[in-house]
Amino acid sequence: MVVILLGPPGVGKGTQGVLLAEAIGARHVATGDLLRVARREGTELGRKAQGFMDRGELVPDQLIVDLVREVVGPLDAAQGVVFDGFPRTVPQAEALGGVLTDVRRKVDLVLALEADDDVLVQRLSGRRSCPQCGSVYNVHFTPPRSEGVCDRCGAALVHRSDDDPATVRRRLEVYREETAPLIRFYERSQAPVRRIDADRPVDEVQKSIREAAGA
């Protein structure tokens, strides 16, 4: 199964994507996470992406499509994939269609996660991320057992620099301009699109997602 998690920053794509991928035995492919690893490792991609990410802008399509092709290309034909944060533009969606057609696959389900901006802003202001294992917490809703320390691996948690209020505002604008139109794009392309109310507790949102995915 190929599932796309669409939605604005902070709506819970990462939180839900990890849980869904585990439930259906799929690979969770989060382009934001892959870019942050590339930055940390100082690769050419990481260096090219850095400025765009810091400003809350999108990284150029070609870099992202090459990255996704590298990850998805070698996967077994039966391997499910949960895309999180990709595609984010119409050209990325078209490129994904091409990559999947080449391996005789298609997008099976698009989950459009929705919540109001004030919810997103509050979630992003409280988000704390583990730079080592990628676990995500929230100081308001899902704090770690020990303040500032990752429950899973013990690393010091960070507040992502692009979660500061000015960059969050820009990321929300970019979402509305470039990514939200993908909901119509997929509706027109006849991929099943399910809208999910993401302003509910994590387990309730996950239950709706699993129902939509038939899992």
Chain positions contacting ligand AMP, by CB under 6 A = 9, 31-32, 35, 52-53, 56-59, 64, 85-86, 88, 92, 162, 171
- The string of DSSP letters for 84-133 reads ES---SHHHHHHHHHHHHHTT----EEEEEE--HHHHHHHHHHEEE-TTT
205 binds ligand ADP (CB under 6 A): yes
- Nearest residue to 163 via CA among 195, 139, 182: 139
8 A C-beta contact, residue 182 and residue 6: yes
Q: Name the minimum Å distance from CB 213 to ligand AMP.
A: 20
8 A C-beta contact, residue 108 and residue 192: yes
What's 29's DSSP letter?
E
Find the catalytic residue in 48, 69, 105, 160: 160
8 A C-beta contact, residue 91 and residue 182: no
Q: Name the minimum Å distance from CB 202 to ligand ADP.
A: 4
Is 145 an active-site residue?
no
Is 170 an active-site residue?
no
Distances (CA, A) of 158 to 11, 40, 96, 163, 165: 19, 14, 32, 10, 16
Binding mask 1-40 toward ligand ADP (x if CB under 6 A, else -) reads: ------x-xxxxxxx-------------------------
Is 195 an active-site residue?
no
Q: Name the minimum Å distance from CB 106 to ligand AMP.
A: 19
32 vs 80, beta carbon nearer ligand AMP:
32
9 vs 87, beta carbon nearer ligand ADP:
9
91 vs 144, beta carbon nearer ligand AMP:
91
Q: Name the minimum Å distance from CB 214 to ligand AMP.
A: 26
Residue 69 neighbours by CB under 8 Å, 6+ apart: 99
Q: Rounded distance, CA 83 to CA 14, Å?
A: 10
Q: Name the minimum Å distance from CB 76 to ligand ADP.
A: 26
Q: Rounded distance, CA 52 to CA 202, Å?
A: 30
36 vs 127, beta carbon nearer ligand ADP:
127
Kindly identify the residues of this chain, within the stretch 112-141, that bind ligand ADP according to CB under 6 A.
Answer: 123, 126-127, 136-138, 141
3 vs 76, beta carbon nearer ligand AMP:
3
179 binds, among ligand AMP, ligand ADP, none (CB under 5 to 8 A by kind): none
User: Residue 117, Cβ neighbours under 10 Å: how many?
Assistant: 13
